[in-house]
A and B are shown apart, each in its own frame.
Chain A
């Protein structure tokens, strides 16, 4: 057992012991407990705000404090570790090389990667909590505000567990926890069928991913005998250099096993990070309130797949096939999801497909082996996408829960701060220099290209070239649909107030529910109105439309949206600001040579000690090839601006969108397929869900008629046999007995009183008699 003792404490040797680390995740948890248990009884929702925002805010400050401490440590020892208690101690397990008695600790590890993620989660989390206090103002009066805030806190807790956990099981704890919160928050308006279904869809789809994740970490356990990051990192080089690994009687190279592990884990990442083919839950998840979309479905939860791959990069670096799979799926998703975004009219749907697509870009980076580039895109994307989502939330709130962009327009004049922030964020996502998206996306695309380019040899895998092309096309689409979104929403005339010269607005889906999604949005709005009419207003509201008839508020002439409260525009603006400047945190080496004032690759160097190195790194040794500058210039000066100008030309320059209409008329089928998201949902429904239901029904019939039928058949056979015996008994044997009985019956009326006729009494007396007998025997 002494060896176990050293194991438990050894983990602290590679890292500093921290004593307040646990507070980072647990503060939001306390917030959740306080609000969840007592929120219903609290008179003022300001108290709910205090605990919800306070816990996340303090957690952010604490994260910052730890981060500063971390930065003060030597580069190869940047890790703070705290173990709270032993979570699992199961016993011995036979794994590769012998028996492990690994104990799974409830432990946290704050290092270069988890530190950044924790900053993002608590920081963006705080801003989005702040936004929610404005956005969810309507819920303050109907008694479910506390529930929303409690779920949000629980989410932050789970997400912090995911990133700060010191072993894979802790990550899995957070992994499932964020899934639960996502489920709860998507289905927050649970009385709407669609929201409830979307929540369930998200959970079940994620479970499919979890299946892969679980198999993946089972395999890791079989190979390494541990799930602890430190131990894994310490032993991986030894295992990767083994000549062969034999498990379950199967001998293969370590690369083979690492490929298997990597592919399994990637299935988990596909689920959580919404990659093809498991992305379908994310667009539906927009049924949740918009802050949820910003926090969970853009900035944090959906990036956990990326986090996991970066965390376990030592597996992937040794697993070329798994990396190729990641690259292939990532690039496919980046392109396909971007095309889906082209034809959506629901502002949140556009952003949802955009998120799927951007996640695809991140996976491309990972797949090209550029973990730091992929991870950097996680952060820049969190800034601009959270800003865009929150901005869209502000727009939706200002437009009375209208989500269809055809019914918006001209909002720039009405809500300038939101518009400006979103426009800046759009420049960032489109990858325009020097906004943050440029630095991260360009880096990814360059690394993918370089994998094929090979320093001018053009000998890399063709997959990299294909992926790069898909990525470029995806980037083009991204710039296009984002500009389209901006043009439709913020430019032109406001079309929501009956003023619609070009007949562009549609009968608000929010009203007639020919689309489930819109129906949901409407019902929400409708509900909110009812509650507003009943309730007292405690705080400034995003918009004031008390007394409106909820059925026609959109077409009341002259009823214009206006800028939302500071609780809402401030987070949008802060995030947009970060989206503008954030890119300089990972200023590429190539540009550093041009403009040496900005330090090069801060983020890459920061995260480098955590990445498995095949060869020693020498920073700044290689001269960046001319090709890098060419592609960089092409992407940011021609490609992305081209797409933006095109979209501007179609949707802004021509306010009647006649060019778009002409295109649709020219290619109706193309439009139909793109607009219907290639019928993927329908395909899953028909090819997977329905057959499973049918099969289940058949199984149930089988259960009823065959399995149970045999049981009942056996019983029936016995009864028939008994009847037969009974007949013989009654007619032949009993005839004689009955005669005797008749005589006795006549004489026995005295004893009848004892007999109550109840089976239970008899059985009970029998049982007692038996016990007395047993007890008597026992005494004797």
Chain B
């Protein structure tokens, strides 16, 4: 009945919107109906999307389940959908986070339930839409539409400064979106000039890469900058990040979760999907700047996070740091970096969502998020402490949990491309441990006060919405291969688009196999060694002078 095909993909994407339409008809006093109804819609949407995980052909780098309908023929706009491994993963992440975001709202949303859940559902469809479109026009549409529900979620259900934060988020990202639109239109018209036709399809845009490469440097750089700023605001990269702490702090918990888990990924997704394949040349030209900003983001975000007094703000700045690392990986432009960047997107979606949820828990109970108001919570809330610990460890990149997979691969990838930047980024992991553990220590450890002693531990609902995150964290940490396999072919294609011939380099596999067979026998001294009296007599400390003789065959290729 459920096979992965275009129809099911569209149903899974638009189901939340449909749910929203149905809920529109329900009288607004029916709080339970909205809660359970929207949760069910999200879960069904997730279950449908899960089919695609199994149906995806991992060997192919093509866009799968692709289909296009004519929409505005005069402009060359098509309703064109489909997914490759990269979009599939983010699409799945969105449907995965959806039910969690709904479930964490049951208690914290105390007014205007009807609108809240309807907006959440609309937001979900808008976000899912971004990841399935294969048409630039449709992409831009979803990209901007997504802002509307987010705006209302923050502006209505947010904290004390909600209007400021909401308007800032809206205007700031809109400005970026407009820049992106300019870039899209520029390519669109350039395409018209070269081919004579009007076409908004992503494929045709990517096919423009060689044409763009022949344009003037200024043109290319401006185009790249327009894309870059548009996406960098969304990511957000330093110095475009200041909307993020405000939005996170003011947003309701679910808003923060979605913001961190999905919305920020739109920016990184934009880099992977558009900037890198369409403008590889200009990206490489601007690389020092991009790397610089990523590095500043990593260190700066971590340092600023360290001294925050508000837990949510701390997590928000940690996002700046983590996303900086993600961008560093993507800019490494090699398979390690890009895959690591993709992993970091997913991992950040899991661990930072987890942290925001964790902050939301104590906020619901105490209506404060100030670190100083807490302490010793491990005593009164042991389950919470465990979950919080897991999310903290996942966020600071402890092996066995998901965070390490992303961080480790990114650092390895960027080390291949620019070692010094990788060294600086690696310093960031020290700071990551410092600010997260410091927060954990101040909130969870130490003496407990009377008011905190009375705080209730997680209830079943809360455990249930943390559970998927914890399971996902362990699964990715211990066996990330299935996810890597999904993105393998598309990343390979992307790397070839950026650096043609990357994979044509001479393979070391054969000689490594020989070396592996040799194993510890490679430690033995070669037999013809007897001649050197020095090496024989020398004390171990000076035994390093390796006598020169011909290299064994297995090392010849090095």
Contacts and interface: CB of A to CB of B under 8 A. Distances in A.
A4 B503 CA distance: 14
A97 B336 CA distance: 18
Nearest to B531: A615
B481 A85 contact: yes
A384 B494 CA distance: 58
A549 interface: no
A442 interface: no
B508 A98 contact: yes
Contacts of B513: 3, 6-7, 10
Interface stretch (B247-255, B350-358, B434-442): B434-442
A574 B552 CA distance: 48
A208 interface: yes
A699 B300 contact: yes
Given A91-B492, A225-B508, A239-B558, A11 B516 contact: yes
Interface in B534-558: 535-552, 554-558
Contacts of A612: 523
Contacts of B539: 368-369, 447, 450-451, 453-455, 460
Contacts of B542: 320, 369, 451, 454, 460-461
Interface string A102-135: 1000100001000000000000000000000000
B57 interface: no
B235 interface: no
Contact of A218 (B412, B492, B532): B412
Contacts of B437: 183, 200, 203-204
Contacts of A15: 519
B544 A193 contact: no
A197 to B, nearest CB: 7
A711 B176 CA distance: 13
Chain B interface size band reads 35 or more
Interface stretch (A171-179, A337-345, A595-603, A634-642): A171-179
A207 B393 CA distance: 13
Chain A interface size band reads 35 or more
Contacts of B1: none
Interface in A285-342: 314, 317-320, 323, 327
Contacts of A696: 303-304, 306-307
A215 interface: yes
B178 to A, nearest CB: 14
A228 interface: yes
Contact of B541 (A169, A193, A318, A460): A460
Nearest to A202: B437
Interface in B502-525: 502-503, 505-525
Contacts of B300: 699, 703
Contact of B520 (A76, A85, A367): A76
Contacts of A764: 118
Nearest to A78: B520
Interface stretch (B33-41, B203-211, B217-225, B425-433): B425-433
A610 B522 CA distance: 9
B521 to A, nearest CB: 5
B555 A230 contact: no
Interface in A675-699: 692-693, 695-697, 699
Contacts, number: 380
Given A696-B306, A760-B156, A763-B152, A173 B512 contact: no
B314 to A, nearest CB: 11
Given A696-B303, A707-B239, A7 B522 contact: no
Contacts of A218: 411-412, 415, 419, 422
Interface in A1-20: 3-4, 6-7, 10-11, 13-15
A291 B434 CA distance: 26
A13 B516 contact: yes
Interface stretch (B360-368, B459-467, B483-491): B483-491
B51 interface: no
B399 interface: yes
Contact of A3 (B303, B509, B544, B550): B509
Tell me what chain A mostly uses at the interface: helix, strand, loop, or mixed: helix
A615 B532 contact: yes
Given A190-B445, A447-B539, A235 B554 contact: yes
A248 interface: yes
A695 B434 CA distance: 15
Given A226-B512, A711-B172, A369 B404 contact: no
B334 A93 contact: yes
B517 A88 contact: no
Interface in A207-239: 207-208, 210-211, 214-215, 218-219, 221-222, 225-226, 228-239
Interface stretch (B97-105, B190-198, B259-267, B375-383): B375-383
Contact of B511 (A90, A221, A235, A319): A235
A6 B416 CA distance: 25
B445 A234 contact: no
Nearest to A463: B541
A91 B491 contact: yes
Give the most central of B429, B479, B491, B542: most A CB within 10 Å.
B542
A95 B509 CA distance: 12
A239 B156 CA distance: 64
Given A210-B429, A454-B539, A707-B242, A235 B558 contact: yes
Given A190-B446, A615-B543, A696-B307, A176 B520 contact: no
Nearest to B302: A696
A723 interface: no
A614 B239 CA distance: 54
A196 interface: yes
Contact of A234 (B79, B241, B416, B514): B514
B346 to A, nearest CB: 15
B448 interface: yes
A309 to B, nearest CB: 14
A215 B434 CA distance: 19
A439 B190 CA distance: 80
A40 interface: yes
B115 interface: yes
A237 B520 contact: no
B544 A700 contact: no
A233 B441 contact: no
B555 A193 contact: no
Contacts of B521: 14, 76-77, 234, 609
A777 B558 contact: no
B306 A711 contact: no
A255 interface: yes
Contact of B434 (A3, A85, A204, A242): A204
16 contacts: A7-B509, A13-B516, A15-B519, A90-B340, A90-B409, A91-B491, A95-B416, A173-B399, A195-B445, A219-B415, A234-B514, A240-B546, A455-B539, A616-B527, A711-B172, A760-B156
Given A89-B481, A91-B488, A234-B517, 18 more contacts: A10-B516, A13-B517, A14-B519, A79-B520, A93-B416, A99-B507, A199-B445, A207-B434, A233-B523, A234-B554, A238-B515, A242-B558, A248-B419, A613-B523, A615-B529, A703-B242, A707-B238, A774-B71
Interface of B: 69, 71-72, 79, 115, 118, 122, 141, 145, 148, 152, 156, 168, 171-172, 238-239, 241-243, 300, 303-304, 306-308, 334-336, 339-340, 376, 378-379, 382, 393, 398-400, 404-405, 408-409, 411-413, 415-416, 419, 422-423, 426-427, 429-430, 433-434, 437-438, 441, 444-448, 478-481, 484-485, 488, 491-492, 495, 502-503, 505-527, 529-530, 532, 535-552, 554-558
Interface of A: 3-4, 6-7, 10-11, 13-15, 40, 76-79, 85-102, 106, 111, 169, 172-173, 175-177, 180, 183, 187, 190-193, 195-197, 199-200, 203-204, 207-208, 210-211, 214-215, 218-219, 221-222, 225-226, 228-242, 248, 255, 314, 317-320, 323, 327, 367-370, 447-448, 450-451, 453-455, 460-461, 464, 609-617, 692-693, 695-697, 699-700, 703, 707-708, 711, 715, 760, 763-764, 767, 774, 777-778
